[in-house]
Amino acid sequence: MFCKNCGQQIDDNAAVCIHCGVATGNNLSSKNALDNPSHLAGIASCCFPVVGIILYFLWKDEKPQSASLVCKWMIGGIIVWIIFYVLAFVLGMLGSLSSY
């Protein structure tokens, strides 16, 4: 990457130019500091997958780590809900068969 002010070559991850001291606008460290995945959001996504879908689309560009965590919890929650409903259906069918 080249500095927009002095034109010297600088590191791609540099926040400031080492030659002239001008900020590059490359604030990767501040973006990563803000992307601190919350397990509370993950658990909420597991219990309520709709919340996970909403949070994923809100965070996928700005907070990719948080979006990934929420997506994983959401998928886990959907799997748990499917298992719950299948078990409820099977147990309901077994209960109705025993009454005959």
For residue 22, CA distances in Å to 26, 33, 35 come to 11, 22, 25
Assess whether pLDDT exceeds 90 at residue 94: no
Rounded to an integer, the average pLDDT of 66-87 is 92
**Domain regions of the chain by residue span:** 1-34, 36-98
The predicted pLDDT at position 28 comes to 53
Contacts of 76 (CB under 8 A, 6+ apart): 46
Q: pLDDT digits over 29-49, tens only?
A: 555 556 777 788 888 888 888
The predicted pLDDT at position 32 comes to 55
pTM above 0.85, yes or no: no
Number of helical H runs and strand E runs in the chain:
4, 0
Rounded to an integer, the average pLDDT of 68-87 is 93
